[in-house]
Chain A
Amino acid sequence: MRARYGVRRFGYGVAMIERARRGFENLRLGFCSLGAVLGLLGAAAAQGPVANAGFTINAATCPRLADPKLTNARIDLGIELRPATGFALVKVTLWKGGALLGPIWQGRIACTAQPHMVSWDGRMAPAGSAVRKWIDPGSYEVQYEAEQEGTRATAVQRRPLDIVRLGITEVTALPAGPNSEWQMVYFKRGTTAGTFFYATPVLREYLNVADTGQISDLDGNDGMPRPSVPVHTATASPRMEGTLYEDDSYNYPLCYRAGVSPRFEVRFGATGTSASGLLVGAKYPVPGVLLRCRLDSSLGPWTSNHLTLAPNVPEVFTGPPLPNRFGRTDANLEWSFQCSTDGGLHWQHMAGVVRTQHRFFTVLGVPRFGGASGVQYSGPWVEVAEYAHAWQQALGTNVSTPEGMTEVVVKGFGGQLPGIPTAIENVRYDTNILGGDGGASHYYDWSHSVQLSRLLDTHQNGWFVNCSDCASSTAALLGMLGIQSVQMNRLGNMSLRAIRGIGAPSYTLALWGGTYAHGFSYHHVVTRTAGTTICDACLWVDEDGNPNALPGLPGFNVDRPWGGSPTSYQSLLAWAPISYQLEALPTLQ
């Protein structure tokens, strides 16, 4: 009962204050003159509450800037009443341009030494509506009013509050020095049949803006904040919008050299959607107020030197070093904001964050390709990087060195190992004992090109591969993942010892069936040492000490010495020395 009475009387007091406020523009300043307020309250005292110089209200906490649409945002309002004794009825209201917009909070609180905290979500029901909506970006005032119980003394204070709209629309991954960052490549276009190369845009790898028919970049048409774009995890095709490439909402993986600190050039959006569904500006910068962004992440904190943010003006952030090895790193980034009203001497934290996720691939060196121009040579292919990541996870190999990386690619490509049950795309060697034929190439072309896109697209050209298909593909994989000096190596004819072809269930001494010679007219392999060592993902040699008999013991050909020992490649593969001819990396299709 008392409270109800108090509130009614209190509302009357507010009206009186408002009438008086119109004559005193200085009340719109951050700290209104206590004397003036007390004087005004005195004018109202004859009809209700009385101003009392001994009773004061202080906005102990009131953010200068706020964006209630940020994740976990709130507007913390601290109410401090003096003297710290007894109780008071308090009302916090929002004002704009001299007009009362509505109540933020009201209640009875104890007058104590500690401020009473009120957390407001930034929403208010517009006039004539029962639905609470976020207030639009713009300049406001928060009015704190109190009436002391018993004395009925009143106190008022106003604080400026600017609502701004903060959000990230673009992130561009910048190099951190020469040869440190590359675009990544997709080879399909949605569900359209065929090969279509697409490189992640240099302009920005992350984009989150209005689509056609949408009002603003930072919000949906219903005013809800536009969610961050999740990492695009598909590996063959970029994000599609119907039959077209997505051009307003994507978040593509990034590729950096291992161990470097990534650099992001970030743009903050300029437009939001108002509570009434109209386009509204982000409403910053605010005169006299600096605004900066702080970036923390699961990788560690990022640094930036910007003085103050402005919409659509790029700012650069530098992250902590990425792992010094090949791999995939998924990072959660949390963008928070601070403002300063004293030129940067002191910064006030703004509640709420923007969260984005980014996927980093790190490679050990400059990606190498057999071709020079073409989208397919823009950088590592996403599907290849994902394959290598998965293989590394299964094998547990140390991939901080080219040797380890080579092992991952050669063993992973052939598969049939714990954690990698099949060869890449489930291919198998092209011999009629496995259902194929006589070892024809299906992906490698005489023009020294390999249709890697077709191989990765669920072996479009068929299950079967020969040595040229395997060698050209593994050479391409190693090169694009930053292994240097990779070449193909075309070997001459040979009579074979026991081998196990890719995808085959067991070793054999009759690769082409019982009535045909167990040999090759030629064989294609890979080297990264100009032929002194060999990588061969097409077959395993037999390391059980008797390479002329079955069964065989897997001998992986990862940088295996070419000759000079009983376990060299020549010795374990063939009965007689083999001729060879080094070749460049293949071109890619």
Chain B
Amino acid sequence: MNTTLLRSICALLLGASLLAQVAPVPVDPREALLQATAKRYESPAWARGARRAGPDLAAVALRGLEGGAIERLGAGPVQRFFADAGGENRVLVEVQVGTNVDAAQRHVLGWLTNVSSPGLVPTAAAAGIPLGDVGFVGWSKPAERRLAWLLFVRDNTAVRVVCLDPAANPHPDLTAIAQAVDAEIQRAPVVAAEALVPAPKVVRFAAAVARCRAGERVPLQVTVDAAAGAPVLRFEFEGAGQGYVESDGAGGHVLCTTGPGRLVVRVCATGTRCTTSTATLTIEVGPR
């Protein structure tokens, strides 16, 4: 490399550096933590898969375990518990389907950032467990190869499989469970580059009236397509008004108002493919 070129490169780098000093980009402390974790775990080097529809979590069958309902609490991952023959939950599977691969990998980094032991969490590959594009292992008793949890990312889906009581026997085969979920991810169709990851579509969400008196019951119309798997509905509420939603006994829903004020009702439809869509409506709940 000649001297002139080297000087030019140095000048450019210095200029860029100075520019960076003049206009520093504020870093969200939590983003900084995530970046630090990414650096520790060298996530830019992780394999990157395709973008797919989410795995059909309802289709995941585990030998000797009975899967529960699919649930999503807030912005967290979709969760499904698996219980033993006695009805006791033994395994929790958490799934977060990202809009892209980066989002899923960030979710795995988030899990890793909240591991408080000082060393690096060992990889699944190092433990001889083929899993995902990259996976990690939480050992309960490594000498016995007894796992507490496994987490991995495959394509745009992050997964954590947790043994709820690692000391209990028989110990569930977390590897087989995680690999079953991994296989289900790979069975999901690839999504075209310009397309959205499939999610349930709330076709209609409407109330029979826009205003009511506190204490009244208001029929709701909720129609959700099942293109992303049979949806599970969850209702959330905002605003000064108060209420809850009940089944009307005929497959419909009814809003039971219990306090006056503007009430925003949000329906969250989570499909078995672990994606969620929401829709809201507003009702003015007047005094009784």
Contact = CB atoms under 8 A, between A and B. Distances in A.
Contact of B148 (A464, A523, A581): A464
B74 to A, nearest CB: 5
Contact of B237 (A244, A374, A490): A374
Interface stretch (A21-29, A91-99, A440-448): A440-448
A391 B133 CA distance: 47
A463 B168 CA distance: 11
A548 interface: no
A444 B73 contact: no
A437 B77 CA distance: 21
B236 A374 contact: yes
Contacts, number: 160
Contacts of B107: 446
Nearest to A431: B117
Interface in A497-539: 511-512, 516-517, 519-524
Given A201-B242, A201-B258, A202-B242, A444 B114 contact: yes
B165 A447 contact: no
Interface stretch (A105-113, A192-200, A401-409): A192-200
A575 B288 CA distance: 62
B114 A202 contact: no
Interface string A458-491: 0011111011100000000000000000000010
Contacts of B8: none
A193 B259 contact: no
Interface string B124-151: 0000000000000011111000001100
Interface string B2-41: 0000000000000000000000000001100100000000
B166 A461 contact: no
A446 B81 contact: no
Interface in B161-195: 162-167
**Which one of A444, A453, A589 has the greatest number of beta carbons of chain B within 10 Å?**
A589
A33 interface: no
Contacts of A448: 30
A247 B256 contact: yes
A447 B138 contact: no
Contact of A587 (B74, B165, B247, B256): B74
Contacts of B219: none
Contacts of A199: 242, 258-259
A438 B117 contact: yes
B121 interface: yes
A195 B149 CA distance: 23
Given A449-B75, A462-B165, A378 B242 contact: yes
Given A439-B116, A441-B115, 10 more contacts: A193-B68, A203-B214, A374-B236, A374-B237, A445-B76, A446-B113, A468-B114, A490-B33, A521-B116, A521-B117
Interface of B: 29-30, 33, 68-69, 71, 73-77, 81, 89, 92, 107, 110-111, 113-119, 121, 138-142, 148-149, 162-167, 214-215, 236-239, 242, 244, 246-247, 256, 258-260, 264, 288
Nearest 10 CB-CB pairings of A with B = A446-B110, A202-B259, A439-B116, A373-B238, A437-B148, A201-B258, A437-B138, A438-B117, A589-B73, A435-B167
6 contacts: A199-B242, A373-B238, A375-B236, A516-B117, A516-B119, A522-B114
